Amino acid sequence: MRKISLIVIHCSATRSNQCFTVEDLRACHNAQFHGKGIGYHYYITRDGQLYQTRSEAEVGMHARRYNAHSIGICYEGGLDEHGRAADTRTPAQKAALVALLRSLKVDYPDAKILGHRELPNVHKDCPCFLPSKEYSQLNDNQKLGKADFLSV
């Protein structure tokens, strides 16, 4: 079993008025990673649909130098209709993301939740918001149990 110390959130860097399905993501990553599949462990589309796109036991391909000990989550979007970086998460995506994070914190209570941009030496806007701030309560509550997850 891998030792997970980070949960890294990403955006797909697609415009808010364009669809980027899980199939689109798969094609993009297969081209980028020479047929090795999607680099993120989870993908959340605008309608809040959550896809597990890689086994948690498998090392991801989403954050160079951090993949061995992290889980990668990506949401569809991250650019406004003009192509500028923006937090374009829908209410459904926000709900799906927080539910996923709560679940992951049960399995990986010591993992810190960060955005890709919050990793050292990363010079990107991804995921276009600050997960460490938005999810600070989950980061501070290092010992969530199954009962806490079910009651939230």
- Please identify every residue annotated as catalytic: 10, 40, 116, 124, 126
Contacts of 7 (CB under 8 A, 6+ apart): 70, 71, 73, 101, 104, 105, 108, 111, 112, 113, 114
If phi > 0 it is left, if psi is from -120 to 50 it is alpha, else beta; for residue 112 that is beta
How many other β-carbons are positioned within 10 Å of the β-carbon of residue 126? Answer: 22
Q: How far apart are CA 116 and CA 114, in angstroms?
A: 7
Closest CA to 139 of 13, 51, 8: 8
CA separation, residue 111 to residues 15, 54, 94, 148 (Å): 30, 18, 20, 17
Q: How far apart are CA 105 and CA 100, in angstroms?
A: 9
